[in-house]
């Protein structure tokens, strides 16, 4: 016959198993903080060194190639850092980074991100440079909103805020880069700090 | 200590079986390897617990192919959901009776 405390432990086991198998909780808070820092540096470089701050939808810049290289570099450094830090956290939690839940999380992000990437390429090819930054916010926000089902619930709020900032940026083109810096920079840092203090200490 | 044992299912006395049921109740389906990874068990150990749950009709198996590799995945049946639910209710009642 089981004792009462055994049943209490049963409940804890059920809870932890449900959580572990349905949510990817190895997402590291520091990954968000670093992503935000890279984004702020990227936005600053684009603004200061390439003089990039579109004021209208059709915007011509001589620095398109360096700009795209800069954006790609920021993206890959961010991804690399996120994977590295999450793998470290997964190891601490005795979890694999590539498991059923991280797979589900990534697949749910895939569609909005791929569609977003194609939209950005089309925008570039049509010269609609002013829409680039806000559109990345919208699609990234949708991806986060989708992914939140499989990770921390806070990511859902992050997604919605990114989409809102993107829409503001589309309407007020002259604030597009500023919205981008707030969305990818400040919001990531805030979310990262919040996740770190709430779940990692 | 005397306990109200109504609704407690014998199949869930084992924490491993409880774990399998918990995992399958929040996932549409999970493969043998995914379950093995989550529960941190050996093949033989997991297989024997799965067989027991299958025999009770609480979970069922789905065999398919990914390319040429066979993929065995498990899902919870209606009976399984009902049994797991009543087990959780029983645990809930136990807690309630303690706090009174």
Residue A12, chain B, CB below 8 Å: the answer is no
Nearest to A21 among B1, B13, B23 (CB): B23
Residue A38: CB atoms within 10 Å: 20
Helix (H) or strand (E) holding B30: strand B30-31
**ipTM computed for the complex:** 0.82
* Facing residue for B19 by CB, picked from A1, A13, A22: A13
Element (H, E) at A49: none
Say if A20 is an interface residue toward chain B (CB within 8 Å): yes
Centre a 10 Å sphere on the Cβ of residue A5 and count the other Cβ atoms it contains: 9
Q: What is the per-residue pLDDT across A20-43, written as a single tens digit (0 to 9) for each?
A: 898 998 999 999 999 999 999 999
Domains in chain B, ordered, with CATH? Answer: 10-84 (1.10.10.10)
pLDDT in tens, chain A (201 residues): 566 778 888 889 999 899 889 899 899 999 999 999 999 999 999 999 888 888 888 887 777 889 999 999 999 999 999 999 999 999 988 888 888 889 989 999 999 999 999 999 999 999 899 999 999 999 999 999 999 999 999 999 999 999 999 999 999 999 999 999 999 999 999 999 999 999 988
Do B20 and B53 meet the contact criterion of CB atoms below 8 Å apart? yes
With beta carbons under 8 A apart, name residues in chain A contacting B18. 10, 13-14, 17
Read off the pLDDT of residues B54-98 as tens digits, 9 standing for 90 and up: 999 999 999 988 888 888 999 999 999 999 999 999 888 888 887
Max intra-chain CA distance, chain A: 78
- H or E stretch at B92: helix B78-99
pTM: 0.82
Which residues, 6+ apart, have CB-to-CB distance to A194 below 8 Å?
A29, A154
Contact B20, B50 (CB under 8 A): yes
Which residues of chain A have a CB within 8 Å of the CB of B36?
none
């Amino acid at each position: 016959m089981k004792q009462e405390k055994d049943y209490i432990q049963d409940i804890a086991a059920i809870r932890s198993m449900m959580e572990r198998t349905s949510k990817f909780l190895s997402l590291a808070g520091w990954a968000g903080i670093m992503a935000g820092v890279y984004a702020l540096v990227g936005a600053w470089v684009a603004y200061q060194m390439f003089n990039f701050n579109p004021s209208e939808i059709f915007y011509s810049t001589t620095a398109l190639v360096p700009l795209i290289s800069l954006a790609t570099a920021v993206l890959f450094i961010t991804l690399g850092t996120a994977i590295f830090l999450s793998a470290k956290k997964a190891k601490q939690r005795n979890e694999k980074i590539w498991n059923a839940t991280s797979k589900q999380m990534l697949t749910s992000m895939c569609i909005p991100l791929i569609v977003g990437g194609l939209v950005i390429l089309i925008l570039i090819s049509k010269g609609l440079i002013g829409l680039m930054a806000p559109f990345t916010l919208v699609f990234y926000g949708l991806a986060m909103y989708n992914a939140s089902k499989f990770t921390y619930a806070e990511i859902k709020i992050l997604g919605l805020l990114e989409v809102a900032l993107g829409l503001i940026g589309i309407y007020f083109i002259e604030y597009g880069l500023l919205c981008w810096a707030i969305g990818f920079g400040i919001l990531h840092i805030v979310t990262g700090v919040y996740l770190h203090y709430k779940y990692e200490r | 200590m005397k306990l109200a044992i109504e609704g407690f299912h014998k199949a869930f006395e084992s924490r491993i079986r409880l774990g399998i049921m918990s995992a399958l109740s929040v996932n549409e389906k999970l493969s043998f390897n995914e379950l093995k990874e989550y529960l941190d068990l050996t093949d033989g150990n997991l297989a024997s617990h799965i067989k027991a749950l299958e025999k009770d009709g609480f979970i069922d198996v789905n065999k398919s192919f990914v390319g040429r590799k066979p993929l065995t995945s498990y899902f919870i049946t209606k009976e399984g959901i009902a049994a797991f639910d009543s087990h959780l209710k029983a645990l809930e009642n136990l807690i309630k009776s303690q706090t009174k």
